[in-house]
Amino acid sequence: MEDIIVPIVIVPILFIGLPWLIFHYITRWKSQATLTREDEQLLDELHEMARRLDDRLCSIERIMNAENPNWRAVGCDPLADALEDRGTGRSALGGTSSDSSVTNQPRRIGR
């Protein structure tokens, strides 16, 4: 009896229910494929905000270049400077520092 019930239930689910479910959601998806007015306004606001942020970043880079043309290289410290332990004069990698400028004072970048 169970051998007959399983094919009677599974075959209609596979060949009728599953395709109906897929086509139902495909038609729903295609009918709502356009942006709403609120979505368009949000995209316009985000685009304007991104443009303003880009303008600000360009202004900051111009100011930085005017003050110090080599600011990009100064901002990227070498790995050895980032790993040194300034309290003991030893680097974090285990070696001693032969640089006499290693102190407990923070480094000044720029002028």
Domain that holds residue 46: 38-72
Domain assignment present for residue 88? The answer is: no
Express each pLDDT in 68-105 by its tens digit: 888 888 766 555 454 555 555 554 455 554 444 444 45
What's residue 8's pLDDT?
A: 85
pTM (two decimals): 0.41
In a domain, 1, yes or no: no
Higher pLDDT residue, 73 or 52?
52
The total domain count for the chain is: 1
Q: Is residue 82 part of a domain?
A: no
Distances (CA, A) of 44 to 25, 32, 33, 96, 110: 29, 20, 18, 57, 39
Residue at 59 is within a domain:
yes
Q: What does the pLDDT read at residue 107?
A: 54
Where does the pLDDT of residue 49 fall: very low under 50, low under 70, confident under 90, or very high at 90 and above? Answer: very high
